A and B are shown apart, each in its own frame.
Chain A
Amino acid sequence: MITSTFDMPSSQQAAQPILVALDSLPKSTRAEVVELPLGRGALHRLAELGIFVGSILHIERSAPLGGPVLVNVRGTLVALGRGLARRVQVRVLP
């Protein structure tokens, strides 16, 4: 219930998902959040905005100069600072 990795059908579980950092993805990619190694405050704020392990993000674009990544989650646009986005591990969805 807490980590969706274990909720996946067994066929997918066998093939380990390739995890990538959120900030490394190009725009217009869809990705599922797999790991959120963040502090409690940040976790909570993200969860309130709809970003938690298992939620699906659509990467809208990233700002230049090491700026934030803009993601769309359930219709809400959220700007995530680059340092934070780097720690968010996601699995790219087709």
Chain B
Amino acid sequence: MKLWPSARGGCCATCSQVPKASGVFRVALVGQPNCGKSTLFNAVAGYRSATGNFSGTTVNVTWSRVRVNGLQIELIDVPGIYSLTASSPTENAAKEFLLNGHADVIVNVIDASLLSRSLELTLELQELGIPLVVCLNMIDEARHKGMAISSEKLSAMLDFPVVETVASRGTGVPELFAQVVARRNPPAESPLVGIAPWNPAAKSGSDGEDCHPSGACCHEAPQPRPSGKLGDAGSDPLPRPALTLSEVCGAVAQPVAQAAGATVALAADSVDDAAADLAILQDRRARAAGFAEQSTTMGMPQTDFRIAVDNLLTHPVWGYVFLALLLGGFFWAVFGIGGWLEKQLLALMAGAFQPMTAGLGHQTLAFAVVRSLWDGFVGGAAIVLPYLIPFLFGLALLEDVGYLPRVAYLLDGLFHRVGLHGTSVVPIMLGYGCNVPACMSTRVLPSRRDRFLATVLATLVPCSARSMVIFALAAFYLGPMWALAIFAFDALVVFLSGWLLARLWPEVSVGMILEVPRYQWPSLRMTSRKVWLRLREFVMVSWPLLVAGSGVLGLAEFMHWDRFINAGLSPLTSMLGLPRAVGVTLVFGVLRKELTMIMLVQALGTTNIHSVMSAAQILTFTVFVTFYIPCLATLAAMAKEIGKKLTVLAAAYSFLLATVLAVATRFLFTALHGI
């Protein structure tokens, strides 16, 4: 299998339409949350779609071009859906894609150990009339539970191919794609009421990688077939009452409703749709249960040590003890490994600097530029990477094992007290890695208010970049207890901010409904690839930026331009009691948070910060950087999720919070230590 070097998200901020070049064979991976779609996607396309053991890891439609048996395939990873009735924006994206995106073949990925429930979606997908291949994934899990599933029987009953796989190990994947290729030549017929196939001709010869040139994107209403009306179900060749009314009316029919408006509205009015929904669901459930029962022979389940583990990890007392120990252990491990490496690397690189600049005079422009570029490089290699690698690795392990939903379970009660949804624990935990995916993961929350709260709180969590600043400044110069105190203090601020915001925007929360997945033994290969996916972001984007930013600052200093910025920011820096030269680093920090650290080194002209800043100043600076304005990438993600206005408000809030807390730190620390 050869792959093309492209994996992308949806074409624009608000839609999930994947533009299709005509003649491309499109295969969509569809299934219920956490059944391993992304794992399968990665097994074929290389690691491009982030995976994790919790519902809603994938919130965007991701695609990649791969070559299977000489045939070019556009493989699409669709966010998980329980059914075609969407109740969150993530699921809406998936549904919209399925109904408008025109996949040539759907690979319905099923968690074999949850066969009956998963088949409900299969039956629903069958009604779409797109060729299906069922991928009976995690078949090892099913065997573990004592389920012997006959894929032949299942295939005969469903009337389409069923292939057994273990995507995490790649077992059965070639057989699966052989079946997919065999299912080519789809019928041109559009199966759904009144929705014509999307016409590629409507999109003039663009490169197939951008939004539709009209700018109308997928929001453009598809033209209804002249004959297509909701009432036309009689002419539909499908033997079953297709989708429930709400499935059709919910999101699909929005564009149709504009065109065929009255028909849909009338139909919705005339039927007691809630009852009809339920009846269709019940019918589908009964059929799914029947299929599952007939194809499965139950044997003795093997003893599962995971139950004992879970008894401990979700225990009313030990669960919390373990959570505290785990987070504490994680912290010490990152600090221990990172701190040791930082010392070694700094010493090593300091030695390399002298001979490199031997020929340059000390007051020349060339020296200033080389030194600042070198500082940027050293900052990335010796200050950021030593902490970033163990940090990302630990976080990836926690995600892959399936511990995050347990944290949500343990903390929901506490969160509810402040008026938050327990499910918002997941975005907040993800925020420690990077705030951008954290903001995106709030899409799994059902209400707009909950999404807003979770987004704001997630951005107050120190992401890996800000954690690096905490480790490399507070822990390195003041001692690990100070860093731990900042993390704990941050958690408290997040909690109190949640309490405050929940009161400013009161709403009765629906209550948590969260699937808690089985623990999965993490595969070292998958976890490392995931760490690399995230690390690549640093190496390819942030690190060059650090070097370039450091160079720009060095140049600016040589020309004495930086004093304008520093003078402009002097009210802030003097209020915080920081050296004036720090001002410019805070501006760079809005671009990328790692820059504050590196720029500090550059601005102060030394890698030994403590020689020019007092303990109080280091602490104040760290607190300010931990809270102030999210980085540009996060701001963009926030604007996408909660809108520009709320983003500006949230940024203003974080700036205010940072200033107040940093000033408080300054005076408290000085008062206590008398420095």
Contact = CB atoms under 8 A, between A and B. Distances in A.
Contact of B409 (A40, A70, A75, A76): A70
Interface string A70-91: 1000111111111111000000
A61 B516 CA distance: 13
A47 interface: yes
Interface in A1-58: 1-2, 39-42, 44-50, 52
B632 to A, nearest CB: 35
Interface of A is mostly: mixed
A65 interface: yes
A63 to B, nearest CB: 5
Contact of A83 (B117, B511, B518): B511
A66 interface: yes
Contact of A42 (B83, B511, B517): B511
A1 B281 CA distance: 11
Contact of A66 (B113, B409, B417): B417
Interface of B is mostly: helix
B512 A74 contact: no
Contact of B511 (A63, A70, A82): A82
A76 B517 CA distance: 8
B513 interface: yes
Contacts of B114: 74-76
A42 B513 CA distance: 8
Contacts of A75: 113-114, 145
Nearest to A84: B511
A94 interface: no
Interface stretch (B61-69, B160-168, B272-280): B272-280
Contact of A64 (B87, B413, B511): B413
Contacts of A1: 279, 282
A48 B117 CA distance: 8
A79 B423 CA distance: 10
Given A2-B279, A50-B117, A75-B145, A80 B417 contact: no
B81 to A, nearest CB: 9
A78 B516 contact: yes
Interface residues of A, number: 34
A80 B511 contact: yes
Interface string B244-284: 00000000000000000000000000000011011101100
B9 to A, nearest CB: 25
A68 B319 CA distance: 14
* Most B CB within 10 A of own CB, among A46, A49, A85: A49
A74 B116 CA distance: 9
Contacts of B279: 1-2
Contacts of B274: 40
B414 interface: yes
B316 interface: yes
A84 B116 contact: no
A79 B405 contact: yes
A42 B512 CA distance: 9
A45 B87 contact: yes
A84 B145 contact: no
A48 B414 CA distance: 27
B510 A84 contact: yes
A67 B412 CA distance: 5
A81 B512 contact: yes
* Most A CB within 10 A of own CB, among B274, B416, B446: B416
A63 B413 contact: yes
A30 B598 CA distance: 59
Interface of A: 1-2, 39-42, 44-50, 52, 61, 63-68, 70, 74-85
Going nearest first, the 6 A-B pairs with the smallest beta carbon separation are: A67-B413, A81-B511, A84-B511, A48-B82, A65-B413, A81-B512
